[in-house]
Amino acid sequence: MENAPSGDGTGGGGGAPVSLILTGQLGDVMKESAQAAMSYVRTRAERLGIPADFFEKSDVHVHVPAGGIPKDGPSGGVTIAASLASLLSGRPVRSDVAMTGEITLRGKVLPVGGIKEKVLAARRAGIKTIILPRRNERDLEDIQPEVRKELEMIFVDTVDEVIANALRDADSVPPPPVEPATASRTERTVLN
Rounded distance between C-alpha atoms, residue 16 and residue 13, angstroms: 5
Comparing 154 with 186, the larger pLDDT belongs to 154
Write down the pLDDT at residue 6: 45
Rounded-to-integer distance, Cα 155 and Cα 93, Å: 17
* Contact by Cβ (8 Å): 4, 185: no
pLDDT at 20 over 90: no
Q: Select which of 33, 58, 75, 83 is catalytic.
A: 75
Q: Point out the catalytic residue in the list 33, 83, 89, 118.
A: 118
Confidence at residue 185, expressed as pLDDT on a 0 to 100 scale:
36
Range of lowest pLDDT (11-15, 17-21, 61-65, 154-158):
11-15
Q: How far apart are CA 90 and CA 175, in angstroms?
A: 10
Parallel, antiparallel or unpaired: strands 152-156 and 20-24:
unpaired
Q: Is 118 marked active-site?
A: yes
For residue 174, what pLDDT band results from cuts at 50, 70 and 90? low
Number of helical H runs and strand E runs in the chain: 7, 9
Q: Which residue has the higher pLDDT, 37 or 15?
A: 37
155 compared with 34, residue with greater pLDDT: 155
Q: Report which of residues 26 and 115 the model is more confident about.
A: 115
Our answer to whether residue 95 is catalytic in this structure is no
Task: Give residue 183's pLDDT band: very low, low, confident or very high (50, 70, 90).
Answer: very low
Angstrom distances, CA of residue 91 to CA of 26, 108, 171, 175 = 25, 22, 8, 11
Instruction: Please name which of 157, 191, 158 lies closest in space to residue 86, comparing C-alpha atoms.
Output: 191
60 pLDDT higher than 60: yes
Angle at 81 between CA 76 and CA 84, to 5 degrees: 125
Per the CB < 8 A criterion, the answer to whether 95 and 125 are in contact is no
Give me the domains of the chain, ranges plus CATH numbers. Answer: 2-168 (3.30.230.10)
Q: Annotate 108-140 with b (16+ C-beta within 10 A) or e (fewer).
A: bbbbbeebeebbeebbeeebebbbbbebbeebb
Comparison of pLDDT for 170 and 133, the residue scoring more: 133
- In contact, 189 and 3? CB cutoff 8 Å: yes
pTM of the model: 0.77
